[in-house]
Amino acid sequence: MENYPELDRLGDEIAELSAHLEAATARLLDRIREFDARAGWNNGFSSCAAWLAWRVGLDLGAARERVRVARALGTLPRLAAALSRGEISYAKVRAVTRVATTETEEQLLKVSRAGTAEHVERIVRGWRRVDRRAEMAEARRQDGSRALHVYQDEDGTVTVRGRLTAEQGALLVRALDAARTALTAGRKVSAETFPDPPTFPQAQADALTLLAETALHQGIDPGTPGERYQVVVHVDAGVLSDAEHPGQSVLEDGARVSAETSQRLACDASRVVMRHDANGDLAGVGARARTIPPALRRALHHRDGGCRFPGCGVRVAEGHHIQHWAWGGPTTLANLTMLCRRHHRAVHEEGFRVERKADGVVAFYRPQGWPIPDVPASPTLPDDPLETVRAANARHGVQIDPHTMTPDWDGERLDVGYAIDVLHPLANPGLYEKRDGRAETDAA
């Protein structure tokens, strides 16, 4: 026969420890929000979510949700405080932060305390349905204002400016997010790997470039000759072998690019040798040839499978000559490795170095000469992590018992329609008064 008092104590312990973990989660979200705001992730990663996925092993979707909730709680102090005291769960907070504003926060906090997580999810879904009519009107307005402008500045750079509908914008944002993730996801490097990492706008530009490359690679316009989409660089042979060598390194329209950029592009490209006489006139043109022949490229893809930079693994990658062919390096499998655009640039233009060891292992080094580890160092954990959480909560003045997180629900059936009619500012405008053009809870 079961010992019910003992089982009750076990249940109380589960409830109490759960509340302790939720309180600790609040502090974790505080740190994520600060880390995100200070761009601590911007050391080669595309976003705070991508860094979390690498550093703490979260699924990327779960990492994005952590960042979203952390940001939302920065503007919702009542919800943040309740979570920090272990009074409501992260699951409830995750749900209500999809719709909560500073004006509706207090009402939604009451819902979170009164009901179960399932109740909260159902009310949030109903809450969002009430907003649908206004959202449809806004969508029609956005559709009429869509536009995109692309033009070249005097210095050769290209400016992109535009406005998209909510749907188009969401599609672009998701595509850019996926491209940034593809460029950086899983990168197993330390925070010191990129001493001068790209800013978020620069990462966005890299992601847009990857989208364009992928679209053309997949044959977005298969009926058009591929040459139309090629980027042509004119570079003197001396510049390829020595960046300090005088000579040209320009795009076809005359815009100058650095010698290091030309060397990177020449790693894996079609090459046409043009000979000029003493007067600079064209004396002969050789046949076009691939720097890396197709058969060798297939073998390279089969061996590497994607970018070899530690922790990257992006499949859309370029061939890189470990010893550049312009310096006498052979175009052989042993002298080649695959790098994504981001890391190919890092090797050619940011001082990173790659070498193949005698045993065939490819090793990467930071500009300072420090080796880049394949995986980050694991944190040292105490013997009893839960006791550490208890002690930390106590230091923060958090008082928790087995009933701290128990909702007020007494078992009655949830009427979502009635709850929305009572709570939502559009369904019950009498509950709110206007102040500074925004809804505010009426104290009466």
Highest mean pLDDT among 222-231, 404-413, 425-434: 404-413
Q: Could you report the per-residue pLDDT of 170-220, keeping only the tens digit for each?
A: 678 878 888 887 777 544 444 445 556 678 888 888 888 888 888 776 655
Task: Please report the DSSP string for 234-281 in residue order.
Answer: EE-HHHHH-TTS-S-EEETTS-B--HHHHHHHHHSSEE--EEE-TTS-
Token code pair at residue 359: 């045993």
Residue 43's CB is within 10 A of a number of other CB atoms, namely 18
Check whether 288 has a pLDDT greater than 90: no
168: confidence class by pLDDT, cuts 50, 70, 90: confident
State the Cα–Cα distance between residues 330 and 442, nearest whole angstrom.
77
Concatenated DSSP letters for 331-342? -SGGGEEEE-HH
For 34, list phi and psi in degrees, rounded to 5. Answer: -65, -45
In DSSP terms, 234 is beta-bridged to: 250
Q: Which residues contact 219 (CB under 8 A, 6 or more apart)?
A: none
Own/partner long-range contacts of 167-174 (Cβ < 8 Å, ≥24 apart): 167/139
By C-alpha distance, which of 168, 193, 197 is closest to 180?
197
pLDDT in tens, 354-394: 998 888 888 888 888 888 777 666 677 677 777 888 888 88
Asked if the model's pLDDT at residue 229 lies above 50, the reply is: no
Q: What is the pLDDT of residue 93?
A: 95
310 pLDDT higher than 80? no
